[in-house]
Amino acid sequence: MRADAATLLEYGTDALKRGHPADLVVIPGSAAEISAIARLCHDMRVPLVVRGAGTGYSGGAVPTEGGIVLSVERLNRILEIDQGNLLAVVQPAVITGVLQAAVEAQGLFYPPDPQSLKESSIGGNVAECAGGPRAFKYGVTKRYVLGLEAVLPTGEIIRTGGRTVKNVVGYDLTQLLVGSEGTLAIITEITLRLVPKPPAVATLRACFADVRAAARAVGALVGRRVVPSTIELMDRDSLDTVAAYVGERLAPAGTGALLLIEVDGVPAAVEAEADAVAAACRDVGALEVLRARSEQEREALWRVRRETSYALRTIAPLKLNNDVVVPHGRVPELIDLVERLRAEYHLRIPSFGHAGDGNIHVNVMVDPADAEAMARATKAVGALMEGVVALQGSISGEHGIGFAKKAYIGLELSEDVIALMKRVKAAFDPHGILNPGKIFP
């Protein structure tokens, strides 16, 4: 238990950089201890907020009105890697990248790859249903969660699902808890499905004159029935920002957008698919298509993408990171929408992301000390959300709603659906103590 000012502040913020300090931070070591804390909070009506690694972008792990922050950081063990049954059992604070390295050492693969994987926890990934570049081919976290142990806000310890890929007994509470953003239960153990590690990977970089041509290439790939494991897109504003940050252009002159594409599988299939990727990109006018021939070259191609988050920090103090998603065939229309927002609201909006699954991070950059610019940025975000729903997309593909986006959920969900979700919340948490002030306006 900690209550010093530095800790309360540290546990009162996440990657969103907004929130309210905790009144108390507790760091229990077992599901039984968590159950006792939950019961106490339930009885005394004290807000309780669960925290994983605190890398969330929607304020999910942050109190909105004080209360207790419960960090699961001590529950950080990989309990089992079952090679025969292709599964792993882990505690929630295991870091995603640590689990991936452990299973890959045994020839297995855990595909979900949020870009925060060196810091974020599996529990946080499950609670947010995290995705990443590999989602187009492999799907997001929910596809890999077979079973859970969780503590209800009323103190009961429950188990859902199990160790089988098939399970249709009763309601699927496992999938209900996936993506529930720490509002329904505290996850204390996770059984994850694994797949065999693909033996070969090819990495290609395709450069285009503009972002619309890059977006058209995604359609061309789908047309050739190739499903790359990764299609990352970067627009001109993102490339310019990285160039200014690292002091050199990391793409050939004339590049207005690029795609980083990976295909994986057995070697013969990878060769054929890499050729098909190159041909599809050239079909729609790629200026250059380059294939990495070594791990060193692969890293060099990825450098531009890896530098992006750091580079953005240099152009404005605040990044309104909108993880919007549209059907991938409508990415060109999303790009047009972003272009209109730039012109109308006079803002820098570098955009990049997972073009294969239509999940583009539209980053509205602003100085929060400039009230007039903040007002323009807020309007731009509202217009973006409306536009994305009109494109049959979703206002959040990865980061969840937290408190950052709750004002917008009515754009996507009907009143009846929101009312039903609130009844589900009340069934788990009758006094509304677990992560109050999140998801619902």
Q: Which is nearer to ligand FAD, 111 or 123 (CB)?
A: 123
Q: Which of 182, 198, 387, 436 binds ligand FAD (CB under 6 A)?
A: 182
Dist CA 190 CA 149 (whole Å): 7
According to CB under 6 A, which one of 28, 111, 131, 161 is a site residue for ligand FAD?
131
Q: Which residues 307-336 are close enough to bind ligand FAD by CB under 6 A?
A: 309
55 contributes a contact to ligand FAD by CB under 6 A = yes
Q: Report long-range pairs for 298-301 (Cβ below 8 Å, ≥24 apart).
A: 298/203, 301/203, 301/204, 301/205, 301/260
Determine the Cα–Cα distance for residues 337 and 388; give it in Å rounded to an integer: 9
Q: Kindly tell me which of 57 and 345 has the beta carbon lying closer to ligand FAD.
A: 57
Q: How far is the CB of 125 from ligand FAD (least distance, A)?
A: 4
CB of 66 vs ligand FAD, minimal distance in Å: 15
- The 369-408 contact track toward ligand FAD, x by CB under 6 A, reads -----------------------------xx---------
Contact flags string 1-30 toward ligand FAD, x per CB under 6 A: -------------xx---------------
Considering beta carbons, is residue 56 or 332 the nearer one to ligand FAD? 56
Shortest Cβ 340–ligand FAD spacing (Å): 26
Residues 215-274 that bind ligand FAD (CB under 6 A): none
By CB under 6 A, the count of residues binding ligand FAD is: 36
Does 124 engage in binding with ligand FAD (CB under 6 A)?
Answer: yes
For residue 371, the minimal CB distance to ligand FAD (Å) is 26
User: Encoding tokens for residue 253?
Assistant: 């002159």
Contact string 66-105 vs ligand FAD (x = CB under 6 A): ------x-------------------x-------------
Q: CB-wise, 151 or 281, nearer to ligand FAD?
A: 151
307's tokens: 């530098």
Closest CA to 404 of 317, 326, 346, 319: 319
Q: Smallest gap, in angstroms, from Cβ of residue 287 to ligand FAD? A: 27
Sign of CA dihedral 97, 98, 99, 105: positive
- Contact with ligand FAD (CB under 6 A): which of 47, 52, 111, 147? 52
CA quadruple 141, 144, 147, 148: dihedral sign: negative
51 binds ligand FAD (CB under 6 A): yes
- Could you tell me which stretch among 127-135, 231-239, 275-283, 379-387 binds ligand FAD (CB under 6 A)? 127-135
Among 63, 160, 179, 181, binds ligand FAD (CB under 6 A): 181
| Shortest distance in whole angstroms from residue 100 CB to ligand FAD | 14
User: Please, which residues have CB within 8 angstroms of residue 147's CB and are 6 or more apart in sequence?
Assistant: 159, 160, 161, 162, 163, 174, 190, 191
Q: Which of 22, 25, 127, 311 binds ligand FAD (CB under 6 A)?
A: 127
Minimum Å gap between C-beta 3 and ligand FAD is 20
CB-based contacts of 301: which residues, under 8 Å, 6+ apart? Answer: 203, 204, 205, 260, 290, 292
Of the pair 50, 373, the CB lying nearest ligand FAD is at 50
Sole binder of ligand FAD in the list 7, 100, 115, 394 (CB under 6 A) = 115
The residue from 47, 67, 114, 179 that contacts ligand FAD (CB under 6 A) is 114
CA-CA distance, 433 to 37, in Å (whole number)? 12
Determine, following the binding rule CB under 6 A, whether residue 186 of this chain makes contact with ligand FAD.
Answer: yes
Q: How far is the CB of 117 from ligand FAD (least distance, A)?
A: 8
The two structure tokens encoding residue 293: 């021939």
Rounded distance between C-alpha atoms, residue 77 and residue 92, angstroms? 8
Binding-site ranges for ligand FAD (CB under 6 A): 14-15, 49-57, 60-61, 72, 92, 114-116, 120-121, 123-125, 127-128, 130-132, 181-182, 186-187, 309, 398-399, 435
